[in-house]
Chains A and B, each alone.
Chain A
Amino acid sequence: MNPENILEVKNLKVRFPIHGGIFLKKVAEVKAVDGVTLNLTRGETLGLVGESGCGKSTVGKAIINILKFNSPDAIIEGEVLLKTDEGIIDLVKLTPTEMRKHRGNIQMIFQDPYSSLNSRLSVGQIIEEPMLYHTSMNKKERLEKVSWLLEKVGLNPDQSKRYPHEFSGGQRQRIGIARALATNPRIIIADEPVSALDVSIQAQVINLLQSLQKDFDLSLIFIAHDLSVVEYISSKIAVMYLGNIVELGRSADIYHKPIHPYSKALLSAVPLPDPKRKGKERVILKGDVPTPLNKPTGCGFRTRCPIARDECALNVPPLELKRDDHFAACPYSE
C-alpha cells in the first residue's frame, strides 16, 4: 500500500444474483460494479460522478461494507484496504462483527436527510449514538461533544432536545454530518449529500463540508451526479460508466480537457450560464445506457461511442495514463 494513501480500492466487483423459477435458481446477475480501482490520500476529496445506475452509490456502500445488510446475496470481490492505527485492514474480508470495530474510522453521509435520521430519537440522541459504540465517554462528555458538534455544523446546541421533523432539509443534513463526525473518522463517504436539497442550501452544505474537512483533516469520497458541485469540492474526479471507472484525474483537468468520449459527452451536458456558448460543443450520445444485466463485451461504452471500432468489443480497456496524473480507459481517444 502506498504510504500516502489512506484508502485503496483494488479491482472491486459487486454482483447481485437474480433468482427465478420455482426452485429459485440463479438466472442472471447484475454487475453493478465491475472492477473499480481507486486511491484516496489524506485530506483529499475524490469526486465520483456518473449518471443514475452507474454503480457509484454501490461503490460507496461496498467500501463501508453495508451492502450485505440489505442484500445478503451480493457477491463482493476485490480489496478495500483501509489504513488504521492497527495497520492495514481489508474491509471486504471482515465479518460483520469484526467490521463493527472499525466503523468509527469511516463514516457515511446519506442522500436523503428525511429518511436518514431516525424520527423517534432526538437530535442529541442521534449524534450521540456513534459515540456509544466507539468511545468510552460518559454521559456528560458525550453531551458536551454533541453541543460542540452541533455548533461546528452551524446549529444551535440548544436544539439537541428537538426531533428531526422540526428541522428543514438543510438542517437535517447538518445533523447527518454532525453524526458522521462524532467518532472522529478519517474518511467520510458522502453519497449525494446535497442532491435532495435546494440549490441555495446546497452551497451552504458544501461550504460547511469543505471547512469541516480542513478542521477535521478528513478524506472525502464525494458521490454525485451534479458535475458543477463535484468540480467545486473535489480535488480528484473519477467518472463512472456502467460499473467501470472510465476516466480519473485532477478535477480541473477532467473538467476542461476530458479524454474519454463518455466524459466529453457528460461534461458537454453541463449547463453553462454563458449565452455565447449556447448550442456549441454539445456532444449528444445515441441510444440508452445498456442494462448492467447484460453488459456489452469489451468496452461497456462501445454501443454508444462516437469513435467505437470493431476492436472495442474484444477486451475491456484498462485505465491508462494519458497525461500528467490523468487516466482514461480508452485506447483511441486523446
Chain B
Amino acid sequence: MPENKINNTEEEKKKVSVSIFQKRWKKFKTLKRGYISFVVIVTAFLISFILPLFVGKSALLVHYNGEYYFPLFKTYQATDLGQKRDAYGEANYRFLKQQYSEEDQGNWVLMPFYPYGPNENLLNELEGNPPHPPSGEHWAGTDDRGRDVFARLLYGFNIGLSFALVVTFFSYIIGIAIGAILGFYGGKVDILGQRFIEIWGTLPFLYVIIIISSIINPNFFLLVLILTLFNWIGMTYYMRGEFYREKARDYVAAAVSMGAKNKTVIFKHILPNSLTPVISYAPFAIVANIFSLVSLDFLGFGLPPPTPSWGQLMQQGLTNIDYWWLILTPLLAMFLTLLMITFIGEAIREAFDPKVYSRLR
C-alpha cells in the first residue's frame, strides 16, 4: 500500500511528541500569576522544612574551648557551654553569643539569621509587659506570652500547609477509591453506597470535634484522622460521575474486549482519564483544609498549645484587640497564602480547560 503511507517530512520528524499532561503543564507555565504563586508556595514550603537553619533559637554552630558543638542536633545545658547569665536549664545561645564576644577568648556562636524560636518565652530579655510591638529585633512583635510572632507565623505556615496536604491526600485516596467503586460497579453497590454517604455526610463535623476534644487532647494525627473522615465525601461525587461517564466510552470497551481485567481497566484506563476534577479541585481543597485548621485553632479545639498556629494567634488578637500586630500579621499571612493557592487552582483549572484561548495571562 504505498499510496496509504503517511508521508513523514523532515519537519514532521523533528516535532517532539507531548502527552496531554505535558501539554497542560506547558499551558500552566504560561499562566503567570498561577505559575509564580506555585513556585513561591512550593519553594516556601520546602524551605519551611529546614526553617531552623534560618529562624530559630538554637545556634547553628558553637565554638567553645576549642571544641565545636551543633545545638541543632543535640540539646546542651547552659552550664555545658559556660553560660553565666540565667545559667539554668537549656543554653540560651543569644546570651552565649553576647557573653563570648564580651569575653573575647576565641569562643564564638553562629546564630540563624532570625535568632528567635516560635515557642520561646522572651520575658526575661524584653522590658515591659507583653505583647511587645513590632521592632527591628522582633519584626512582628510578641504575643501575650512574650513569644516572637514572626517566628510563630513561619512555623505555623509549615504546620498549616503540611496539615492541609496530609488531610487532602488521605481524604482524596479514600474519596477516589470509594467514588471509583460506586461508579465502576454501579447497580446495588452504587445505591447502597450513596445512601451510606448521605447518612455519613449529615454527621455534624464541629460537634464531633468538640466532643472528641473534650475527651482527649487532640494532636496532629488525631485531627488529620477526624478531618479526613469528614472530608472524603466531596470527592466521591466527582469520581463516581467520572467513572460512570468514562466507563461507557469506547476505549474502555476496547480494553475489555482485548481481555483486560477489571483492575487494569480501572487503574490503567479509567483512572488516568478521570483525574481532571482531582487535580483541579486539589488547590481549593488545600485552601479549605488550611482554613479548617485555622478555625479549629481559633475556637480552641485544634492543635494543642504551644504549637505555633495562625488560628491561635488570631484568637489572641481577638482577646487583645488593641494590639494590631496580633490581628494583622496572621490575617495577612493567611490572606497571602490562601490567595496564592487559589491562584494556583485557577491556573490549573485554566490549563485543564480544552479551550485554546485563555482569559488569564
Residues in A lying within 8 Å of B, measured CB to CB = 61, 64, 66, 69-70, 72, 100-101, 103-104, 107-108, 110-112, 115-122, 129-130, 133-134, 154-156, 158-159, 161-163, 165-166, 171, 176, 179, 183, 204, 207-208, 211
Assuming the contacts A100-B259, A156-B8, A204-B4, asked whether A161 and B247 have C-beta atoms less than 8 A apart, the reply is: no
In the complex the two chains form, what is the Cα distance from A315 to B187 in whole Å?
Answer: 37
- B274 shortest CB reach to chain A, Å: 10
- B102 shortest CB reach to chain A, Å: 67
With an 8 A cutoff between CB atoms, is B75 at the interface? no
- Kindly list chain A residues whose C-beta atoms are within 8 Å of the C-beta of B269: 118, 120
- Given known contacts A118-B255, A119-B20, what 9 new A-B pairs fall within 8 Å (CB)? A70-B247, A101-B259, A107-B258, A116-B254, A119-B251, A162-B17, A163-B18, A165-B20, A166-B17
- Kindly list chain A residues whose C-beta atoms are within 8 Å of the C-beta of B1: 154, 207-208, 211
- Kindly list chain B residues whose C-beta atoms are within 8 Å of the C-beta of A156: 5-6, 8
Q: In the A-B complex, list the 8 residue pairs whose CB atoms are closest, starting with the nearest.
A: A154-B4, A103-B259, A116-B250, A133-B259, A120-B272, A130-B258, A115-B250, A118-B251
- Kindly list chain B residues whose C-beta atoms are within 8 Å of the C-beta of A154: 1, 4-6
- Kindly list chain A residues whose C-beta atoms are within 8 Å of the C-beta of B252: 69
With an 8 A cutoff between CB atoms, is B13 at the interface? yes
- Kindly list chain A residues whose C-beta atoms are within 8 Å of the C-beta of B268: 118, 121
Please count how many residues in chain B sit with their CB below 8 Å of the partner chain's CB atoms. 32
In the complex the two chains form, what is the Cα distance from A260 to B339 in whole Å?
Answer: 71
A-B contact number at CB 8 A: 96
In the complex the two chains form, what is the Cα distance from A119 to B252 in whole Å?
Answer: 11
In the complex the two chains form, what is the Cα distance from A115 to B250 in whole Å?
Answer: 6
- Kindly list chain A residues whose C-beta atoms are within 8 Å of the C-beta of B247: 70
- Kindly list chain B residues whose C-beta atoms are within 8 Å of the C-beta of A211: 1
In chain B, what residue has the closest Cβ to A171?
B6
- Kindly list chain A residues whose C-beta atoms are within 8 Å of the C-beta of B259: 100-101, 103-104, 130, 133-134
- Kindly list chain B residues whose C-beta atoms are within 8 Å of the C-beta of A133: 258-260
Assuming the contacts A120-B20, A154-B4, A166-B17, asked whether A66 and B253 have C-beta atoms less than 8 A apart, the reply is: yes
A116 contacts B17, CB within 8 Å? no
In the complex the two chains form, what is the Cα distance from A100 to B249 in whole Å?
Answer: 20
In the complex the two chains form, what is the Cα distance from A72 to B262 in whole Å?
Answer: 14
With an 8 A cutoff between CB atoms, is B19 at the interface? yes
Instruction: Provide the main secondary structure of the chain B interface.
Output: helix
Assuming the contacts A120-B272, A154-B4, A163-B20, asked whether A69 and B253 have C-beta atoms less than 8 A apart, the reply is: yes
In the complex the two chains form, what is the Cα distance from A122 to B257 in whole Å?
Answer: 19
- B180 shortest CB reach to chain A, Å: 16
- Kindly list chain A residues whose C-beta atoms are within 8 Å of the C-beta of B20: 119-120, 163, 165
- B182 shortest CB reach to chain A, Å: 14
In the complex the two chains form, what is the Cα distance from A171 to B12 in whole Å?
Answer: 15
In the complex the two chains form, what is the Cα distance from A111 to B20 in whole Å?
Answer: 23
A66 contacts B256, CB within 8 Å? yes
With an 8 A cutoff between CB atoms, is B261 at the interface? yes
- Kindly list chain B residues whose C-beta atoms are within 8 Å of the C-beta of A104: 259
A112 contacts B250, CB within 8 Å? yes
Assuming the contacts A120-B273, A171-B6, A208-B4, asked whether A107 and B18 have C-beta atoms less than 8 A apart, the reply is: no
> Could you write out 6 A-B pairs with CB less than 8 Å apart?
A100-B261, A103-B257, A104-B259, A120-B19, A121-B268, A154-B6
Please pick, from B13, B18, B256, the residue contacting A158 in the complex, using a CB distance under 8 A.
B13
- B212 shortest CB reach to chain A, Å: 39
B255 contacts A161, CB within 8 Å? no
- Kindly list chain B residues whose C-beta atoms are within 8 Å of the C-beta of A103: 257-259
| Contact bitstring B250-293, A, C-beta under 8 A = 1, else 0 | 11111111111100000011001100000000000000000000
- Kindly list chain B residues whose C-beta atoms are within 8 Å of the C-beta of A161: 17
- Kindly list chain A residues whose C-beta atoms are within 8 Å of the C-beta of B258: 103, 107, 129-130, 133, 179, 183
With an 8 A cutoff between CB atoms, is B186 at the interface? yes
Find the residue from B4, B268, B269 having the highest chain A CB count within 10 A. B4
In the complex the two chains form, what is the Cα distance from A104 to B259 in whole Å?
Answer: 7
In chain A, what residue has the closest Cβ to B269?
A118
In the complex the two chains form, what is the Cα distance from A134 to B259 in whole Å?
Answer: 8
- Kindly list chain B residues whose C-beta atoms are within 8 Å of the C-beta of A179: 254, 258
- Kindly list chain A residues whose C-beta atoms are within 8 Å of the C-beta of B256: 66, 69
With an 8 A cutoff between CB atoms, is B211 at the interface? no
B251 contacts A115, CB within 8 Å? yes
- B273 shortest CB reach to chain A, Å: 6
Which positions 1-17 of chain B face chain A at CB distance < 8 Å? 1, 3-6, 8, 13, 17
With an 8 A cutoff between CB atoms, is B248 at the interface? yes
Find the residue from B4, B20, B187, B258 having the highest chain A CB count within 10 A. B258
Find the residue from A61, A108, A211 having the highest chain B CB count within 10 A. A108
- B192 shortest CB reach to chain A, Å: 13
In chain B, what residue has the closest Cβ to A118?
B251
Assuming the contacts A133-B259, A158-B13, A163-B18, asked whether A110 and B253 have C-beta atoms less than 8 A apart, the reply is: yes
